Amino acid sequence: MTGLSLLFINSAKRASGGEYWMTQVGGEFVRRGHRVTFVCRPSLPWAQYARDLGVTVYEHGLHGDINMNAVARLALIMLRQRVQLVCTVFEREARLAGMAKRFFPSVSFVQRKVVPRIKNRLQYRASYRYFVDKILASSHSIESQLTRYSWLSPGMVEVVPNGIDLTPFNSFNPSRNVANRLGIPRGRVIVGSVADLVPSKGHEMLIDGLPNLLLLAPQAHLLLVGDGLMRARLERKSAQMGLEDRVTFAGFRRDIPEVLRNIDVFVLPSHSESASLAVLEAMAAARPVVVSDVGGNSELVIHGVNGFLFPLDDPLMMVQHVALLAANPRLRKRMGMEGRQWAEREFTLDKMIDRVEEIFLSTVEKKQRRKRRSASVAH
């Protein structure tokens, strides 16, 4: 089969892991000879990045479940780009694209799921019954929860773990360039987290646990990289606890590989995760990780080998794991290299793209075979 014409639709208001995945996949598919089109909200910075990768981008507002203007626009894009497969991320856009796809029965439909919930309502059940051909789950944890829905067709869910380009993380040597610019004193063991500052990432647990961590590892320093609606609250909390000289808020940064070279221990106490790109990046940078045992984290972190898992309701265990790593440079190095090797074996970008491409090609081919059989029966 020659290159496919693919349409990715994403209605997110800001860039996060899903948008990163979409631009990675879209850019790689262009490189492999497929024609790729994105539909996203207007004026998002990652849209220009996608254009730079050779992706055709349409910027449209995608509001409401039954927005016939949006349906008409999507149908026109499908016609203009001769789309063979649509891939969506959120439920709203799946229903809008599904209604547009009704004008093109031969178009295949794939939904990517990074959260395991589907509301058991008529519009959701109808969407997955009549529109969606395949679901891409980013972890086996999500797959196991999705398959509990008896109204999903057997074999509908395919697991495709996240993968990343390891090249930007190939320098493992510790650095203090970023730490120096941020004013972190020399001699500190930097405990870092790279994530949006939102409630689900658990940053409050990190700040609450810092006094106990300092009792066990007096040289520890917390570096929070990212921005979001929780930033002001977290800054106030650290000030009220007298921790301003032990917590650095670095804000949003683009130089994540360099930031990770400055981190000694990566920690992320998320309340939920599918397959965290931040954890994969820390592993790619050969940094030991301490993460909550939720969602797909246990599929990334081998406890005691490339990092530690802790129960979300046991913040003291998180502190103990971080303190152990803070006090033991040799253990940090060994676990970090184990994580890098694990990423090289299981979570490369090429491996992920190969699997997504295989699923897309087989889904389109299956739809075309069905169309040919229907046509032969009609004659």
Burial group, residue 237, by CB count within 10 angstroms (0-12, 13-18, 19+):
middle
Query: Maximum Cα–Cα distance for the chain, whole Å?
Result: 80
Cβ(64)–Cβ(35) below 8 Å: no
CB neighbours of residue 239 within 10 Å: 11
The full DSSP string for 175-200 is: --HHHHHTTPPTT-EEEEEES--SGG
> What pLDDT, on the 0 to 100 scale, is given for residue 177?
87
Are 276 and 297 within 8 A, CB to CB? yes
pLDDT at 374 (0 to 100): 65
Is the separation of the CB atoms in 356 and 160 below 8 Å? yes
For residue 217, the SS3 value is coil
CA angle at residue 359 from 354 to 361, to 5 degrees?
Answer: 90
List the beta strands (DSSP E) in the chain. Answer: 5-10, 35-40, 56-59, 85-88, 108-113, 134-137, 157-159, 189-194, 220-225, 247-251, 265-268, 289-292, 307-310
Per residue of the chain (379 residues), what is the pLDDT tens digit? 579 999 999 888 776 777 888 999 999 999 999 999 999 888 888 888 899 999 999 998 777 667 888 899 999 999 999 999 999 988 788 888 888 988 888 899 998 987 666 666 777 777 777 788 999 999 998 888 888 887 788 788 999 999 999 999 998 777 788 899 999 999 999 999 999 999 999 999 999 999 999 999 999 999 999 999 999 999 999 999 999 999 999 999 989 999 999 999 999 999 988 889 999 999 999 999 999 999 899 999 999 999 999 999 999 999 999 999 999 999 999 999 999 999 999 999 999 999 999 999 999 998 887 766 766 665 5
- Residue 65's pLDDT is 67
- What domains, with CATH codes, occur in the chain? 5-163+349-378 (3.40.50.2000), 167-346 (3.40.50.2000)
